[in-house]
Structure 1
C-alpha cells in the first residue's frame, strides 16, 4: 500500500474524523423516521434539515480540530481551497434511503492530500457501524455486528455479486456496458448507497458499478475499500478524479478488474 505523506498528523486526523462522524450521528438520528420534509436541489436530488444541520456540525468540528485544512461539503461548498489537505464530506449519503426509513444511508468523511484520498470513514448511525480506512493501513470495522473488513476472493465474474444503488443512476451512455456486466454476473442487487461499499469491504459483495458520482460520493470509499483488499477506479480502470466522468467501479478481488472494466468499457486493456 502507498505510504502516507511525510509529516502526516495521523492521530489528529483520525481523532478529528471520528469526532466528525460522532457529531453527525448525534444530529442525524433524531430526524430518522420522523417525517422530515425534503427539498429538491437543482439536480433534482433531495436534501433535508438532517443533511444541512449535520454538515454544519461536521464543518465546525473539523475546523476546530485542524483549522489549516480545507473543507468541501455537498451542501455548502468549498472553504480553504489553497490547502494541500482537504476534507470532503457528505453528511447523509443516500438521502432517499434516509427519507424512506431505510438504514442504508451513511455519513461520509474523507481527507484528501493533493487531491488523493488518504482517509475515509463510512458511518451508519442507525446500526452503529463504522468503517475507517487510512492509506497504508488495514481497514477497521467498528461495530457490535459480525464482520471482518477483508474482501473475499472472487476472480470469476460469473460467481460475483453485483450491486448498484438504483437503475436511474446508470446514465444512457453507460447503459449497455452495465447491462453486459449484469448479464455476466451471478446476481444483481439494487440499493445501498455508501453502505454497499462497506459490505464489499466485509466480503459480502464483489462488484459495485455506478455512474453520476460526485467526489463527495466516492472519496471516503476509496481508502475503506482498498484498505480491505479491494480496488476502486472509474469504469475504464483509471484512478478516480474530481473532474472524471462520474463512473465508479469497486471490486473486492483485484483479479476481477480487467474483466469487469472490459465489459463496462469495451476495447480497453487493464492490467
Structure 2
C-alpha cells in the first residue's frame, strides 16, 4: 500500500513537471483544436505537453501502474493502481486567460479513488486529499481543509459548469435546485470542488463528466469531510452525473431531488 506522504511527494514532482510544460503557453496566442464534431471540446499543445510530462514520470517510477489520460489514451487499466490524468481541467478557461483551470492527478486502487491533487501553478495553489484528510499548499505553507456545515438548500452556494449542459429531466431538476439556493456560480470547473473542500461553497452538481474530471477531486472532497457520489448515490469513479456537498445532510436532500433524473 502506498503511503500518503510518498504519494504527495511524487505528486509534487508530477505537478512541477506538468506546470513547466503548461505555463509557457498560458495567456499566449496559442492554436486551439477541437476534439468534438458538432460541438466544441477544445484542446491545445499545453494539454498534450502537460500529460506527456506526467506520464513519463509515472512510467519511469511506477511502470506496473496503469494510466487513464484524457489526451494520450489508456494503458494497463486492469492494474491494481491506475493514475487518472487531466492535464488542464478547464481548457475553456485556459484559452480565455482565466486562472480557474487546474491540473488533475488522481490515483485509483481497485477502481476506487484513493488519492488526488489539483494543481493551479499560475496562482500557486495545490490541493491534496487521501479520503482521510485534505490540505492546501500555498506559498510554502500548509493549511488543512474542512468543508462547512450547511443543511438547508436555501442557505447553499452552488457551482456548476453551465446549466446548458443539463438536458431534459436533468435540466428541470437542476433549475429547481438553483432557484432554491442562495446563489450560483458557473464555469468553476475543478475549482468549484476545491472551494467546496475549503468551506467556501456548499454544493456542486454536474453531468457528463469523464473519470479524469472527478477521480482526483473525490479524495480531496472526502478528506475535507464532504460527500461526493453519482446521482444514484454510488461511486463517482466513472464520472457521469456527479453530486458533491460539504454536508451529508444537504447531500441526502439533494440526492433525493436528483433521483428522478439519475441514469
TM interval, shorter chain, is: over 0.9
1:39 matched to which residue of 2? Answer: 33
Paired with 2:88 and 2:164, the residues of 1 have a C-alpha distance of 19
TM-score, normalized by length of structure 2? Answer: 0.93
- Listed one character per residue, the Cα deviations across residues 129-182 of structure 1 (whole Å, up to 9, x for unaligned) are 01011133x101101399751111111111000111122322334101101111
Indicate the residue corresponding to 1:220 in structure 2.
Answer: 216
Which of 68, 73, 81 is residue 64 of structure 2 equivalent to? 68
* CA root-mean-square deviation: 1.9
Say whether the 8 Å CA contact 1:233–1:239 is kept in structure 2.
yes
In the alignment, is residue 131 of structure 1 matched against residue 119 of structure 2? no
> In 1, Cα distance between the equivalents of 2:155 and 2:26?
36
Q: Which moved more, 1:105-114 or 1:190-199?
A: 190-199
Aligned length: 259
Residue 45 of structure 2 corresponds to which residue in structure 1?
49
Moved more, 29-38 or 138-147: 138-147
Q: Does 1:176 align with 2:168?
A: no
Aligned equivalents of 1:58 and 1:235: distance in 2? 31
> Which among 125, 134, 140 is matched to residue 135 of structure 2?
140
**Change in 2 beyond 3 A, CA 1:249/1:267:** closer
Q: How does 1:1-271 map to 2 (within 5 A)?
A: 7-42=1-36, 44-136=40-132, 138-144=133-139, 148-242=144-238, 246-266=240-260
Unaligned runs of 5+ in 1: 1-6
**Counterparts of 2:207 and 2:47, CA distance in 1:** 22
- Distance in 2 between residues matched to 1:267 and 1:175, nearest whole Å: 9
SS of corresponding position for 1:183: helix
Does the aligned pair in 1 maintain the 2:114–2:130 contact within 8 Å?
yes
Does the 8 Å contact 1:68/1:83 carry over to 2?
yes
Q: How far, CA to CA, are the matches of 1:55 and 1:117 in structure 2? A: 19
TM-score, normalization: structure 1?
0.90
SS at match of 1:110: strand
Aligned to 1:3: none
In 1: Cα distance, 2:49 partner to 2:175 partner: 38
Unaligned segments of structure 2, at least 5 residues: none
Please list every run of at least 4 consecutive aligned residues from structure 1 whose deviation after the TM superposition is greater than 4 angstroms.
145-148
What is the DSSP-based 3-state SS (H/G/I as helix, E as strand, rest coil) of the residue aligned with 1:211? strand
Decide which structure has greater strand share: 2
Aligned residues of 1:139 and 1:149 also touching (Cα < 8 A)? yes
CA contact (8 A) 1:182 1:188 kept: yes
